[in-house]
Amino acid sequence: MSASSVRDFSLLPAFEQTAVGLALLTLNGDFVMANPALCRFTGRLLTELQLLNLLAVVLPADQGICAGDLSSLAEGTKATVSEVRYLRPDGTTIWVRKSLSILERNDLNELYLLGVCEDVSDRKATEFALESLRLEHQHSVDFNPQIPWTADPQGKVLEMSGRYYDKTGLSHETAFGDGWVRACAPEDLERMQTTWERSLATGEPYDIEHRIRTSSGHECWMRTRAFARRDQAGNIVRWYGTSEDINDRKLAQDAVLISEKLAAIGRLAGSIAHEINNPLEAVTNLVHLARTSTETEEIVLYLDQADLELRRVAAITSKTLRFHRQSTKREAVGFVQLIDGALLIFDQKLKYLGVEVELRERTGRPVVCLQGEIRQVLNNLIGNAVDALPQERGRLLLRCRSGHDWKDNREGMVITVADNGSGMAPEIRRRIFEAFFSTKGILGTGIGLWISAEIVQRHQGKLTCRSSQTNHGHFTVFSLFLPY
């Protein structure tokens, strides 16, 4: 290019006045002309730039990008765009968005490159800050024991942490939408779906404990929760949830549960021994009398009475077997079936204390549950009530009726266990469901009501308490709600 052509090019108003960096370069990247903005970007005078190649003003780490651009243009590419850092003589750098294109002018005897660049340092700083925040968030997610996920208003899963895929062996494609059910234990699936559908319909938080099948083929207990985000009109726009591995806690709770069951069995064994011993003594005496009698009518009478006593033993045994029948399958059971076995444990103590026991069954509709677990809850509630009863005129009310959970309008069975015992102070009542909290000293384990609350929660029910120690009366009432 002739000196006059270069001078004419540099005198263009746009070339001199624009805030965008402009340069004229040879095909191999040598600077021929640059405007003031480019000189400012590079931190060099025009005369300095005219002695340099484009690669000389670029940070070494980015020189490969510029070399690739020059190579592409030499091979026929019309234009290239890239983002690189210019390295200034004082050691500072500046991010620029650089484009190079072939300059074709009739008055030029050879081809040149037109370089255009703009300062994008602020944008890059913002991008780096956002990326840093993203990485911090990702690290928080990766090291958080809870596995986050999101779902659309219809409950279809949109996103899920990669740790869920690692844990279950599912891929994003298979877990997407409703695919997450593939990892759920079949025994829990119906309960999970029913609870999820209720949350989707009402917008109430989702909270459930369930099992999944891991990639290793084992079952693992999880706690899954979700909350809805709404727009200004109150419509649900997204569900945000977490799934937490609670397998170790469940195993520990199961161990405590077994311990509590063994304690209940011990109490029951003592009661049964006493119950059976009396009729067996009677049978022994009646058989002796029958052997020594010479009157046929007396012998028949003694044997008939012995038969009645043996039937009493058989009835006690039958109730005991029914009370301790264990099942891993939920089945329909009525109030009387649930309460009979529990009362059996305390029969002798109730008789000794002269307690008035009142049963009121206002609904015959059965509830679907794990019978052994709900009997254990009732056993604990009745046991606590008996321990709190006064020495005289003690009353124990056991009532069953149909009712509703007014929070989500679910219908279910409501079992009430009420006593006219000492009652509880408010500060005590607030802590009764805490693990290892007891008011019985060395006689109490402090785990009965805690375990009972856990069992009721697994049945999607509720266990509440009210109590009084006022001048108007002392009493305690526990209400157990089990959905139909």
pLDDT at 20: 93
Question: Using CA atoms, how far apart are residues 296 and 5, in angstroms rounded to an integer?
Answer: 146
Span 118-134, average pLDDT: 93
φ, ψ dihedrals at 207, nearest 5°: -150, 115
* Residue at 136 is within a domain: no
Q: What pTM value is reported for the model?
A: 0.42
What tokens were used for 393? Answer: 């005129």
Domain check: are 156 and 182 in the same one? yes
Please say which residue of 324, 359, 379 terminates a domain. 324
Residues 222 and 161 grouped into a single domain: yes
Could you write out the DSSP letters of every residue in 172-236? HHHHTBTGGGGGB-HHHHHHHHHHHHHHHHH-PPEEEEEEEE-TTS-EEEEEEEEEEEE-TTS-E
Cβ contacts of residue 142 below 8 Å, gap of 6+? 161, 163
Q: Taking Cα atoms as reference points, which of 278, 55, 243 lies closest to residue 162?
A: 243
C-alpha 238/C-alpha 154 separation (Å) is: 9
Is 120 found in the same domain as 10?
A: yes
Mean local confidence (pLDDT), 370-384: 86
The pLDDT assigned to 118 comes to: 95
Cβ contact 398:360 at 8 Å? yes
Residue 483's pLDDT is: 92
Average pLDDT in the 334-356 region? 81
Mean pLDDT of 103-123: 82
pLDDT, one tens digit per residue, over 283-334 is 887 888 888 888 888 888 888 888 877 877 776 676 565 555 555 678 898 8
Structure tokens at 324: 């301790």
Pair (103, 154) in one structural domain: no
Tokens of 400: 């069953």
Query: Secondary structure of the chain: what % helix, strand, coil (to 5)?
Result: 45, 30, 25
- Note whether 238 and 252 are same-domain residues: no
Is residue 186 within 8 A of residue 210, CB to CB? The reply is: no
CATH number, domain containing residue 309: 1.10.287
pLDDT in tens, 29-71: 999 999 999 999 999 999 999 999 999 999 999 999 999 999 9
Domain boundary among 213, 245, 277: 245
Instruction: Give the Cβ contact number of residue 268 at 10 Å.
Output: 19
Q: Answer for the pair 247, 280: CB distance below 8 angstroms, yes or no.
A: no
Distance CA 326, CA 337 (A): 14
Phi, psi of 18, deg, nearest 5: -70, 150
Q: What was the pLDDT predicted at 318?
A: 66
Q: What are phi and psi of 14, to 5 degrees?
A: -60, -35
- The separation between the first and the last C-alpha atoms of the chain, rounded to the nearest angstrom, is 92
Taking the CB of residue 199, how many other CB atoms lie within 10 A of it? 21
- pLDDT score recorded for residue 4: 45
Residue 274 confidence (pLDDT):
58
The better pLDDT of the pair 17, 312 is held by 17
Structural element, H or E, at residue 100: strand 93-103
119: confidence class by pLDDT, cuts 50, 70, 90? very high
Predicted confidence (pLDDT) per residue in 140-193, tens digit: 666 667 888 999 999 999 988 888 888 899 988 888 888 889 999 999 999 999
Q: What is the dihedral angle through the alpha carbons of 386, 387, 392, 398, rounded to the nearest 10 degrees? A: -20
| 8 φ, ψ (degrees, to nearest 5) | -65, -40
The 3-state secondary structure of 245-281, one letter per residue = ECHHHHHHHHHHHHHHHHHHHHHHHHHHHHHHHHHHH
Domain count, the chain: 4
- The H or E element that residue 150 is part of is strand 146-151
pLDDT in tens, 442-462: 566 667 788 888 889 888 899
Query: CB atoms < 10 A from the CB of 282, how many?
Result: 16
Average pLDDT over residues 356-384: 87
pLDDT digits (tens, 9 = 90+) for 270-279: 656 656 776 7
> In this structure, what CATH number is given to the domain that contains residue 79?
3.30.450.20
User: Structure tokens of 47?
Assistant: 């005369």
- For residues 172 and 157, what is the distance between their CA atoms, to the nearest angstrom? 10
Please count the CA atoms within 13 angstroms of the CA of 70 that sit on its side-chain side: 15
401 and 334: one domain? yes
User: What mean pLDDT value characterizes the chain?
Assistant: 85
405 with 467, same domain? yes
As beta bridge partners, residue 116 has 22, 99
CA triplet 240, 241, 246: central angle to 5 degrees? 165
Domain that holds residue 102: 3-125
pLDDT tens, 179-224? 889 999 999 999 999 999 999 999 999 999 999 999 988 999 999 9
Q: Are 320 and 407 found together in one domain? A: no
CATH code of the domain containing 463: 3.30.565.10
**Can you give the pLDDT at residue 261?**
65
Residue after which a domain boundary falls, among 260, 295, 324:
324
Categorize the per-residue pLDDT at 137 as very low, low, confident or very high, splitting at 50, 70 and 90: confident
Residue 134 included in any domain? no
Share of the chain above pLDDT 90, in %: 45
